[in-house]
C-alpha cells in the first residue's frame, strides 16, 4: 500500500534494515541502520518484528505526507517533530491518516533518527536485504537517498489496539561527550604507548564522519618501533579502531569490507549506536574492557530490549 | 612471494562478535589456499552461532553471535578442521575468461604502461593476457577481485592524481597488481582497457562472475566485439 510522499527529503534519508549479511567476502558491505537500538525500538512501537525496513534520518529530518492510515514511530536522535503543524513526540506510536503531514526538523541532540511504519517500508529486497548501499547504488529505494516527490510503499498490517510508549527512563540521552567501551585487538600487539594514549586521552569527531567510518582527531597513536606501518588487507569489522599513516584513529562502520591498516581495538557492538549518534565536534573517550565483560554487556543489552517489549 | 605458513593458525580478537584467524605472514598462494580451505569447510557445515565467514589474503574473519558461540569453542573448531585441512583442499577452480578491449578511449593510461615497460601496445596486451591470474580475495567494492601474478614488466605506479570516477568495467594496473572495477568508483589505477561484461549484477540471483580461488584469464577483443557484447549484456 502507498505509505507516504516525500515533500522534503531532509539531510540524508535512506531506507535501511539490520543489514545485508553473507556477501562481505564478495566486497559487499553490511550496511543497515547504524543505531540498531533506535531501529529495534521504532519497529516495536508500531508492532513490527525487528528486521522491518525503516528510514534512517541524518541531522535534518524529512517532511512526509501520508497516503494511508497507519501507525508510525520516530526514535533516535532528538529532533522536533510536528504532525499537521502540531508538536508531537518521539519514542511513542503515532496514528496517522491520509493527508497528514509529518515534519521532522533539525537535530538537537544526537545525529540519526529512525522512523518506522506499520509493516515496515516496502522496497524490493536485493541480496536478501532492504538496506540502501549508496556507494554501490543499489538496495533500499532505488539505491539512493530519498528525494522530494518520491512515493514509498509500506507492507501495512493490523493497527495497534492501543498506543505504545517507551518509558522515559529507557530513552537514551545523547550527550556531546561519549564513552565507548572497546576490546583490544585485532592488532593490539602493534602498539605500546599508543594504547595508553588511546585509553587515557580525548578524541574529537571530525567532519569526515559518515556510514563508512568516523575520523577522529587528538593525540597521535604511533605504531611501536619495528612493526610495519600497514598490514596485509583483512576483513573490517564495524567498531574497529584503525590507525592509518597519519596516526589519527578512524572508527570503521558498516560500509567497509576490507582494510590494510592495523586496528588497535574494536568498539563493542552495544556501543556502535553511541558512535552513530556522535556529530562533528563531539568528544569521545575509550575504555578498555576484556571480552568476558563485553559479552556480559551484550547479554544485558538484550535484557533491556526484552524489558522494553514487556512495557508494550 | 615467499611468505611463511604458520605451524598453527594464529587468532586475534575483533571486538565482541569478531574472531580473526591468520594462516601465514604474507601474500602467498599456499597461505591463501589454506584460508579458502577453512572457509569452504566451515561453510559446508556452518556451526550454529557463526553468522558470516570472510576469507581474505592470509586471514579469515568469523562473525559470531555471542549467545551461541564463543572464541574458545571457535578456536577448537578451527584447530580440529585444521588438523585435517590437507583433505579439505579439493577445490574446484574455475578459469573465468574476461574479454577486454585494450587502449583507446577504454584504456587511456596504456601509454603510461608502455613508457614504464618499454613495450609496444601490442606487447603490453600480449603480456597482460598471457597469465591465469589467481583471485586471492574479493573486497573493497562489490566484486572487486585482488589478483596475483602480474608480469613484473607491467609493474607501473598509480596515477599521481586519482580519478574521481573510474568507469565500470575498467581494467587497470597499480604497481604489481592488476584488477577490474565492477562498479564505477574513484581510483588511481592505470586504466589499460575495459570489459563489456556486467561483473556485478545485484538484481540477479547470483550477482557475481567469480569468487576467491578462481582464476581470471583476460582475452583481447576489438571495439566492434566490445559493442556487440555490451549490447548483449544490457538486453
| Interface pTM, i.e. ipTM | 0.92
Nearest CB to B61 within list A187, A235, A297: A235
Within this chain, do residues A164 and A29 fall inside the same structural domain, yes or no? Answer: yes
Q: Does A7 touch chain B (CB under 8 A)?
A: no
Mean pLDDT of A264-282: 98
Q: Which domain holds residue A29?
A: 2-170
Residue B85 has pLDDT above 60, yes or no: no
pLDDT for the residue numbered B3: 80
Within this chain, do residues A7 and A156 fall inside the same structural domain, yes or no? Answer: yes
Within this chain, do residues B99 and B212 fall inside the same structural domain, yes or no? Answer: yes
Within this chain, do residues B134 and B217 fall inside the same structural domain, yes or no? Answer: yes
Within this chain, do residues A101 and A157 fall inside the same structural domain, yes or no? Answer: yes
Four-CA torsion A144, A147, A149, A151, nearest 10 degrees: 40
Which region among A77-81, A278-282, B24-28 has the lowest average model confidence (pLDDT)? B24-28
Minimum Cα–Cα distance from A242: chain B residue: B14
Within this chain, do residues A188 and A219 fall inside the same structural domain, yes or no? Answer: yes
CATH number of the domain where residue B18 is located: 3.30.1360.40
Within this chain, do residues A59 and A199 fall inside the same structural domain, yes or no? Answer: no
Question: Please, are residues A117 and A94 in contact by the beta-carbon 8 Å criterion?
Answer: no
Q: Which of A268, A29, A251 is nearest to B16 (CA)?
A: A268
Q: Residue B186: pLDDT band by 50, 70, 90 thresholds? A: confident
Interface size between A and B, measured as CB pairs under 8 A? 128
Within this chain, do residues A206 and A281 fall inside the same structural domain, yes or no? Answer: yes
**Residues of chain A found within 8 Å of residue B6, distances taken between Cβ atoms:** none
Residue B23, min C-alpha distance to chain A (Å) = 12
List, for residues B157-172, the tens digit of each pLDDT value. 999 888 999 999 999 9
Domain boundary, last residue among B58, B89, B120 = B89
Alpha helix locations (H) across A153-270? 193-200
Domain boundary, last residue among A170, A191, A216 = A170
Which region among B126-135, B143-152, B226-235 has the lowest average model confidence (pLDDT)? B226-235
Q: Does A123 touch chain B (CB under 8 A)?
A: no
**Residues of chain A found within 8 Å of residue B54, distances taken between Cβ atoms:** 24-25, 235
pLDDT for the residue numbered B95: 96
Mean pLDDT of A224-247: 93
Contact A27 B67 (CB under 8 A): no
Task: Give the residue numbers in B contacting A (CB under 8 Å), as ranges.
Answer: 12-18, 20, 26-27, 39, 51-61, 63, 66-67, 70-71, 137-144, 146, 182-183, 185, 202-203, 207-208, 211-212
Question: What is the C-alpha separation between A79 and A58, in angstroms, rounded?
Answer: 10
pLDDT for the residue numbered A248: 96
Question: What is the C-alpha separation between A237 and A254, in angstroms, rounded?
Answer: 8
Q: Annotate B51-118 with three-state secondary structure.
A: EEEEECCCEEEEEECCCCCCHHHHHHHHHHHHHCCCHHHCCCCCEEEEEEEECHHHCCCHHHHHHHHC
Q: How many domains would you assign to chain B?
A: 2
**Mean pLDDT, chain A, integer:** 96
Q: Which domain holds residue B25?
A: 5-89
pLDDT for the residue numbered B90: 66
Domain boundary, last residue among A143, A170, A197 = A170
Within this chain, do residues A183 and A161 fall inside the same structural domain, yes or no? Answer: no
C-alpha cell read off for A233: 588487507
Question: Please, are residues A25 and A127 in contact by the beta-carbon 8 Å criterion?
Answer: no
List, for residues B30-68, the tens digit of each pLDDT value. 999 989 989 988 888 888 999 999 999 999 999 999 999
CATH number of the domain where residue A221 is located: 2.40.100.10
Q: Considering the entire predicted model, what is its pTM?
A: 0.94
Mean pLDDT of A112-134: 97
Q: How many domains would you assign to chain A?
A: 2
Q: Read off the DSSP letter of residue A28.
A: -
Residue B6 has pLDDT above 70, yes or no: yes
pLDDT for the residue numbered B86: 55
Domain boundary, last residue among B52, B71, B89 = B89
Question: What is the C-alpha separation between A252 and A29, in angstroms, rounded?
Answer: 12
Nearest CB to B139 within list A27, A266, A267: A27
Amino acid at each position: 500500500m502507498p505509505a507516504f510522499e516525500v515533500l522534503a527529503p531532509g539531510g540524508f534519508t535512506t531506507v535501511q534494515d539490520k543489514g545485508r549479511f553473507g556477501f562481505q567476502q564478495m566486497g559487499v558491505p553490511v550496511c543497515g541502520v547504524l543505531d540498531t537500538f533506535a531501529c529495534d525500538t521504532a519497529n516495536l512501537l508500531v508492532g513490527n518484528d525487528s528486521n522491518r525496513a525503516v528510514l534512517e534520518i541524518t541531522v535534518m529530518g524529512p517532511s512526509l505526507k501520508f497516503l494511508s492510515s497507519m501507525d508510525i514511530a520516530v526514535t533516535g536522535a532528538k529532533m522536533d517533530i510536528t504532525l499537521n503543524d502540531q508538536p508531537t513526540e518521539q519514542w511513542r506510536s503515532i496514528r496517522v491518516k491520509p493527508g497528514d503531514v509529518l515534519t521532522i526538523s533539525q537535530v538537537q541532540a544526537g545525529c540519526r533518527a529512525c522512523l518506522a511504519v506499520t509493516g515496515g517500508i516496502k522496497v524490493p529486497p536485493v541480496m536478501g536485504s532492504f538496506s540502501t548501499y549508496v556507494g554501490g547504488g543499489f538496495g533500499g529505494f532505488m539505491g539512493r537517498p530519498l528525494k522530494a516527490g518520491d512515493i514509498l510503499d509500506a507492507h501495512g498490517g493490523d493497527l495497534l489496539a492501543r498506543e505504545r510508549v517507551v518509558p522515559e527512563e529507557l530513552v537514551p540521552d545523547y550527550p556531546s561527550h561519549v564513552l565507548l567501551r572497546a576490546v583490544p585487538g585485532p592488532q593490539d600487539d602493534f602498539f605500546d604507548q599508543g594504547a595508553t594514549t588511546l585509553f587515557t586521552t580525548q578524541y574529537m569527531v571530525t567532519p569526515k564522519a559518515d556510514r563508512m567510518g568516523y575520523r577522529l582527531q587528538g593525540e597521535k597513536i604511533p605504531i611501536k618501533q619495528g612493526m610495519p606501518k600497514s598490514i596485509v588487507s583483512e576483513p573490517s569489522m564495524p567498531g574497529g579502531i584503525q590507525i592509518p599513516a597519519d596516526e589519527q584513529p578512524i572508527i570503521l562502520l558498516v560500509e567497509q569490507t576490507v582494510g590494510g591498516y592495523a586496528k588497535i581495538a574494536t568498539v563493542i557492538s552495544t556501543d556502535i549506536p553511541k558512535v552513530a549518534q556522535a556529530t562533528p565536534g563531539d568528544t569521545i573517550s575509550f575504555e578498555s574492557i576484556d571480552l568476558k565483560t563485553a559479552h556480559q554487556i551484550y547479554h544485558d543489552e538484550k535484557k533491556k530490549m526484552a524489558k522494553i517489549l514487556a512495557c508494550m | 612471494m615467499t611468505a611463511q605458513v604458520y605451524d598453527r593458525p594464529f587468532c586475534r580478537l575483533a571486538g565482541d562478535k569478531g574472531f580473526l584467524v591468520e594462516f601465514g605472514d604474507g601474500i602467498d598462494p599456499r597461505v591463501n589456499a589454506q584460508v579458502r580451505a577453512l572457509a569452504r569447510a566451515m561453510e559446508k557445515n556452518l556451526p550454529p552461532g557463526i553468522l558470516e565467514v570472510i576469507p581474505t589474503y592470509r586471514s579469515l574473519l568469523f562473525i559470531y553471535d555471542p549467545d551461541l558461540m564463543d572464541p574458545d569453542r571457535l578456536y577448537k573448531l578451527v584447530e580440529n578442521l585444521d588438523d585435517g585441512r590437507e583433505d579439505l583442499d579439493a577445490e574446484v577452480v574455475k578459469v573465468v575468461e574476461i574479454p577486454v578491449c585494450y587502449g583507446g578511449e577504454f584504456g587511456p593510461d596504456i601509454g603510461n604502461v608502455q613508457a614504464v615497460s618499454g613495450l609496444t601496445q601490442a606487447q603490453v596486451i600480449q603480456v597482460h593476457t598471457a597469465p591465469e591470474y589467481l583471485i586471492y580475495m574479493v573486497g573493497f567494492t562489490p566484486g572487486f577481485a585482488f589478483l596475483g601474478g602480474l608480469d613484473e614488466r607491467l609493474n607501473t605506479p598509480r596515477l599521481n592524481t586519482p580519478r574521481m570516477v573510474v568507469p565500470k568495467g575498467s581494467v587497470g594496473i597499480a604497481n604489481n597488481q592488476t584488477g577490474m572495477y565492477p562498479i564505477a568508483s574513484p581510483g588511481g589505477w592505470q586504466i589499460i582497457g575495459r570489459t563489456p561484461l556486467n561483473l556485478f549484477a545485484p538484481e540477479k540471483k547470483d550477482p557475481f562472475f567469480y569468487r576467491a580461488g578462481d582464476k581470471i584469464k583476460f582475452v583481447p577483443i576489438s571495439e566492434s566485439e566490445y559493442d556487440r557484447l555490451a549490447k548483449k549484456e544490457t538486453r
